[in-house]
Amino acid sequence: MHEPQNQIVTLFGRFRGVTRRNREGLTRWIGVGALVLVAGFFSFLNTGERVTVNLGFTVLYRLSLVGLVFGVFLLGMITMFLFGLRHDRRVRDSLRGQYAEPDVAFYTPPEPPM
């Protein structure tokens, strides 16, 4: 039996058209998959590596390199999330002030149409 062109089979066997949105989603998942593969390969190659970290006030010995990189990655994600919240709050406050109800004391009604 001939399958229609530009169709993909979902996990449940139904056909779904390939749209621009599906291609963008597929591209995003391919990028995520590539990132996971690179991270896994990095972990595999550095399984037994241990490092020493000097924090200035203390020294941490024999830390796993993979664990250290993962921890720094998580700390960076949390930092960017918190800065993003701060920026988002400032933008929301600015928009709220811009579209606020006009003050009654300074409000002049529009002129009626002629």
pLDDT per position as a tens digit, 10-34? 555 555 555 666 677 778 888 888 9
φ, ψ at 76 (rounded to 5°): -65, -40
**How far is 16 from 28, CA to CA, in rounded Å?**
18
Percent of the chain scoring above 70 in pLDDT: 75
Q: Is the pLDDT of residue 99 over 80?
A: no
Tokens representing 7?
């169709």
- Report the mean per-residue pLDDT for the chain: 80
pLDDT at 110: 80
Q: Is the pTM of this model over 0.85?
A: no
Of residues 80 and 25, the one with the higher pLDDT is 80
* Cα three-residue angle 15-16-22, rounded to 5 degrees: 150
The pLDDT of 50-55, averaged and rounded, is 92
Q: Compute how many other C-beta atoms are within 10 angstroms of the C-beta atom of residue 25.
A: 11
